[in-house]
Every structure is written in C-alpha cells, then in structure tokens.
Structure 1
Amino acid sequence: MEQQQPLLSGNDSRGESWRSYEYLGRSTSLHVPTGEELVSGEEVRLASNFSDSDRFSCYPPSIHGALVSSPDPPPLFPNPPSHGGYGYQGGYNDYQSGYPPRPIGSGALDEVEIRQLLISHVGHRCCWGSGPARRWKITSVEDCNVYVGTLETFFEERDTVIEKKPYLGGKIDGADKGQQVGIWDLDLRAYFPELFIPDKEVRINIPHSEAVHKCPDCKSRGETACASCNGKEKQMIQCPACYGRGLIAHRDGSDTICKNCSGNGNLPCTICNSKGTVKCKTCEGHGSLLTSSIAVVKWKTLSTKKVSATSGAASVPDEVFHQARGVQLCNMQAYQCTPAFFADSYHLNNFSSQVIASRAPVPSSARVITERHIISVLPVTRVTMVHRKRSFSFYIVGYSREIFIRDYPSRFCWGLCCCFEWLGM
C-alpha cells in the first residue's frame, strides 16, 4: 500500500531535526525523530541546560526558533522555515474517537436509529411531548458534510513591573552581585506550560535588580504629618460631649464633670494622640524602601474558528459544530502555519487559506511560540418529519450523534425554562 505523503513539506533538514532532539536529551540511537512528532511542554521543562554562549536559547529551537535569539521582538509573522510542522490527510478510517466510523455522505442511519435518537433527546426535556418523535412520518433524510477549521496561536508575553516594599534590613541581591539580565534573557523552562494552554501567568524576581531607596513620602524619617491636626504637636480638639466646657448641664440646673474629657474640655488628637506625626504607611516606619524588578510572564492561546456548511446545515449555529466530534483531515503544528494543500479539493484548499488569513492579532509585546492548524469534517444528517400539514426538521451532528432542534412542535413551557438550549454540547 502506498504511504500517505504530508500535505505540507517542512524545510528543516535531517541534521536540524537531530540537533533539536539532542537538545531535548533524546538519544539518537534509541529515538528517530519523524515529521509527525511535535515538541511537548514537558520536553521543554526537562531540556538540558545550555552553555553561556547559548544563554538566549531559553526554549528548544524546534518550537521557539529565532524568537529568543535576539532581545528585540521579531516581525509579527515573518517567513521562517516550519519547525517540524506537517499536515496529513488521515482519512476517515484513522478516526479514533471510540465511535464507529460512518461513511461521510452516505445514508448510514436508518429510520429506526433516527427515531430512537430523537426520542432519547426529547426524553431529557421535561416539558417536551414524545408524540411527534414517535408517530410523525419521516419524509426526508439528507446527509451533508460540514468542515470546521481552527488556527491556534500560542504565544508568550513578558513585561516588567517595579515592586516596592519596606526595607527591613539585611542583604540584598543588587547590582554588586552581577549584571541584571534582560527580561527576554530569563530562562523560564521550569515554568513553561503545556502547549496551547488557554492562559497561564507567573511572576518572577529578576536577578540582581534589588535596590534600597529613601522613602519619598516621609523623607526617610519614618513619620508623616498627621492629617487630622495638620501636624501640630500638642494640638487639642474640642470635646464633642461637653463642647469644651468640661461640664455636662442637666435639666435641674446642676452641672457634673464631663467624663469624656475628665473636665478638661479638650481631647488629644484621636489619630496621633497630639504628637503631630503618624507612622509612614509607605515604608511602615522604616524610612527606606526595597525596590525590585518583577517579570510578569503570560502564556496564552488565541483561537480562530471557521465553519463551511452546505445550505442544508446553514441554520445550525457555528458553536454547535465547534463542539461536535468529527474526523481530522489536517492537523499541523509549526512556528507559522501555512494553508494546507489537498491535491483533489479546491474547496478545502480555499477554506484552509481563509482560516489562516483570519489569524488573530498577537500583542506587539508578545512572541509567537508555535501554531496549530486543524481542519475537520463533521457528518451532519438533516431529518424532516411531517404530520398532516405540519412539519419540522432536526439535525444529527457529528460522530457522537448529538441532536440539534429548534422548532419541535410539542412543547409546553412557553419559553419559561432552559429546555430550548441544546444541552449536552
């Protein structure tokens, strides 16, 4: 049997593949890299250390390439060679979802199976009647294919923030300990997440970035002027109970000593006790601040999704197809994915180009690590049922055979419950 050829051929030489795997600690005598294999996040974290001459290479070149070779961000989407990014036309027999494969475009479902799927779906809706599902006549069964294309861009974003906290004394990791490294020179392999994780953030102290400075709010005194008494020492305030008299007047004309101020008529400032100063909140009374540079590193995945459906399935929301199970016709990973090539399908070639052209913009401060492009085909069956002059249609979507229906005729909730939603998808 003739072996399947990749849809896209990578430009990497065999020697480059060997070097990438040697970097990851794989033994070339035991493991032969192939175009189908992709670098995982675990391999990044377990990669061996480089020498000082390779200090910019924080990640394996097979996934990060030229991105970490320079502290300056590269162009957003240059045209480097693909690092092991291949796509394969797997065919329907390669589908390993656990569901029996169904020939695309053929009437594999008979009337008994279709009716049973609908009855089961209706049975999970508390206010739907099963009469139409059991007794209405099936007049048409239309099979159609729906293509789902996705492009995921996995990138890393780094930023620096200055953190200030009171200096309590002791040794610091300052410039005398060594030169402060640039934010893109930090080796973060120990924190590297799984590829295409939706979102992850870590905060790391940049080595040799600590410094001690005088507190700007208290001028290194540790105290600031009291806002209540305007910083005046021994400033007293009028007693609110006796209004400064020191005595409390009674209805019978007698006076008693005010217990609130002990007859003095005045009270010390409740904030500073009439000292005129309070402890500086910025340095907490220590007079100095310890500043350090913190690297805020974020890994994110941006996704672009498109659906190409025939007119028979045009009324189904795209989100239904995105969540359904189908057959992968193309699955490629590269630094920058390019459109897939199908030798016998202009439609798929054009659809893949549209997905790639809709690539989500990456922040200017970020660097792309890798991309993944997938094209899947979903079997969709449109069924029409009729009773007298009434009719309705529903759809059987994907290999999990989920039901999508909007206009089921026997409903008793009048829109007051959630049963209109397509539960289970």
Structure 2
Amino acid sequence: MEGKEVALTSPLYSPHPQTVDPELMNFKVIDDLDEAACRQALLEHAAESCCYNPNAAKEMDIIHQNKTFTETRKTECKSKPYPGGRVDGPENSSLPSPWDVFCDADKMFHNHIKKIKVPHTESVQPCNGCMAFGDIPCSECHGSGQKNCTCSMWRHNRESDRLLGTNINHTCPWCEDGFLKCDKCSGHGRESCTECKGCRKVKTYIELTVKFTNHLSDYVFQQSALPDDLVKNVSGMLMFEEDLDQVYPLTAYPIPEINNNSIRIVNEHKNAFPTERIFRQRQRLLAIPVTEVHFTWKDTRSCYWIYGMEQKVYAPDFPKQCYCGCVIL
C-alpha cells in the first residue's frame, strides 16, 4: 500500500538577528609569479603537445603582468508485510510535525537524500492487495494452474485426424491436451501476495524524505581575457571564509566590484528558495592566480596565461612549428 507524496511548505525563514557588527574581515594576499616560473610553466605545457615548439619559450623575451546549504521535506505513506511484533503507533506519543523530526546532514554542502520513518505513525491493517487471504491469482497462469504447451504437435495431429477421418491417438510427449502445469504456482493457480508476502496484514507508516541541496552562486572578477570556465576549474588560495547560519556580505575588500556582488548574492539567497529551509551558509573568497605573459616571437606579439595553483597554461596563440599530422623536427 503506497500513498502519494506530499511536499511540505518550509517554515518561514527567520534569519538570526545581526545585533552586533561582523568580525573584522582579513584577506590574504597571493604572490605574483616571477619570470622563471612563467617560463617553466610554458615549457611544461609545450612539452605535452606535439604541435607546440618547446624551443619557442627559450627564444622569446617574456614580460609578465599579474592579475574570486538547504533542505526540503516531503512525506509518503508506506507499507510493509506485518508478521507480528511491536507497533509504534500514535498511542505511544503525540505525532511530530515532519519539520520537527530530527535529521542531520551526513556531509555539509553536499547534495544527498535521507529517508526516515516518522515516529508514532505505524498502524496494522488487513492487506487490501489480497483481501487478507495472503495469496492472489497467479500472475503467470491467471489462476488456471496451467499454461499452453509451446509445441503444437498434439493440436496439429488432432486436426489432421479429424480431416482424414482417422482415429489414431497422437500424444504430445511434453503435455496433456496441449497444456502444461504452471511452473510459477506449481499448478495451484495462486501465489503469495506481493504486498503482504502471505502475512495477510501490512504495517503502514509515514516515510519522510529529506533532500539536502547545495546551491551555488558565484561571480568571477577578472581583468584578463582568460575564459571564466577555465578559472572555475582550477584550485586557488583561500583568502577568506565565513561559515554561519547567515553570512555577512563582504564590505571591506579593496575592490568595490567584489563587495557589490557579494551584497547582491547574499541578499538573493535570503529569498531565492521559498520552499526550502536554509540549513547553513558559507562564503568564500578564493584567489586564483592568473598571470598574463606577453611575448614576442619573431615579428608577432601575443600573450599566454598561467592560471591556478596547478599553473596550467592557456596559450591559444603560442607559435607552432608543425601542423596536425606533422612531427616536430
């Protein structure tokens, strides 16, 4: 016996009152890359590709320039076979509200789902699936206890005898009169009820599904032409982190544009999830090292980028000594 899922309206979000000023926000500073580091990163990148000339970095003059959880709940009536035993019904205590059932996250800021039996919601009822008989008509033979034989020898020979007027007795070696005993029910015509498993009773209860979701909004402050997707897929240095029931917007960072977008995102998250309860908030400021290196190769001036703590290289215009299908000489 399964019931419909019922989504629950989240309690009104009551942010913790900010009665005191936030603590002083201190931001770490990340160091720039020197010229030797820029050369080495480019050399390693060139060595990984057959189309990049590993000698180009050694021959060029390089100038480098340096450049940021919720829960939803729903309930569903569930049932399982009742062979006997204890029943935790409403007579044991008052029924808790689904939002009052304790459920802690297994891991903060990671998406996952937990299912919990709501206390004091159990009851025992006769099984409706079999009308409390414990068995139902066999799903294979539909209650007849027999199934058609897969061979057609008996039916074919009997039809031939009728047409020819003969009275020869042809018998199928596998069946009698074209039918076999049903394997699933052993010829009884009935099988155990799939709902109560033959117990004739089921225990019903309310199951609570708690879904934890991590919502992420980010803003990249960037002065280079490096694509944002590249910046988001590398690691950086943690300059600032705040983990509270309600975070404070950044207001004292030296770059006003970062402060303004922090205020915007924090305010948006206050009301962005009306059907979800805010579990925790975390705010981070990550410094992704991005170095734009300008180089001259023969008569061509261009640049490449070294980014992330992994010092990955993005060099779409780096000089090539060969084309696809060629080998480096």
TM interval, shorter chain, is: 0.7 to 0.9
Q: Which runs of 5+ in 1 are unaligned?
A: 1-70, 94-100, 149-153, 416-425
From 290, 296, 303, the counterpart of 1:386: 296
Q: Which runs of 5+ in 2 are unaligned?
A: 1-7
Rounded Cα–Cα distance in structure 2 between residues aligned with 1:224 and 1:180: 35
Match of 2:64 in 1: 141
Displacement of 1:365 in angstroms is: 4.1
Match of 2:241 in 1: 331
Match of 1:350 in 2: 260
Displacement of 1:256 in angstroms is: 5.2
Rounded Cα–Cα distance in structure 2 between residues aligned with 1:317 and 1:302: 19
From 299, 305, 315, the counterpart of 2:218: 305
Match of 1:285 in 2: 198
1:148-163 matches, cutoff 5 A: 148=68, 154-163=69-78
RMSD (Å) for aligned C-alpha atoms = 3.7
From 164, 174, 180, the counterpart of 2:79: 164
Note if 1:109 corresponds to 2:8.
no
Match of 1:367 in 2: 277
Percent identity, aligned pairs only? 22
1:303 aligned counterpart, secondary structure: coil
Residue identity opposite 2:55 in structure 1? G
From 88, 110, 130, the counterpart of 1:173: 88
Aligned residues: 311
Normalised TM-score (structure 2): 0.77
Match of 2:226 in 1: 315
For residues 147-181 of structure 1, what are the alpha-carbon distances to aligned partners after superposition, in whole Å with 9 as ceiling and x for unaligned? x1xxxxx1233322322222222232223332232
Q: Which deviates the most, 267-276 or 369-378?
A: 267-276
Q: Comparing both chains, which one has the higher relative contact order based on Cα–Cα distances under 8 Å and sequence gaps of 6 or more? A: 2
Rounded Cα–Cα distance in structure 2 between residues aligned with 1:184 and 1:353: 30
Displacement of 1:135 in angstroms is: 1.6
Match of 2:5 in 1: none
1:210-289 matches, cutoff 5 A: 210-226=122-138, 230-231=142-143, 240-243=152-155, 257-261=171-175, 264-270=176-182, 271-272=184-185, 275-289=188-202
Contact 1:84 1:333 in 2 (8 A): no
Rounded Cα–Cα distance in structure 1 between residues aligned with 2:202 and 2:322: 68
Displacement of 1:214 in angstroms is: 1.8
Note if 1:122 corresponds to 2:37.
no
Contact 2:234 2:310 in 1 (8 A): no
Contact 2:78 2:205 in 1 (8 A): yes
From 129, 132, 135, the counterpart of 2:56: 132
From 14, 26, 41, the counterpart of 1:90: 26
CA change 1:375–1:129 in 2 (3 A) is same
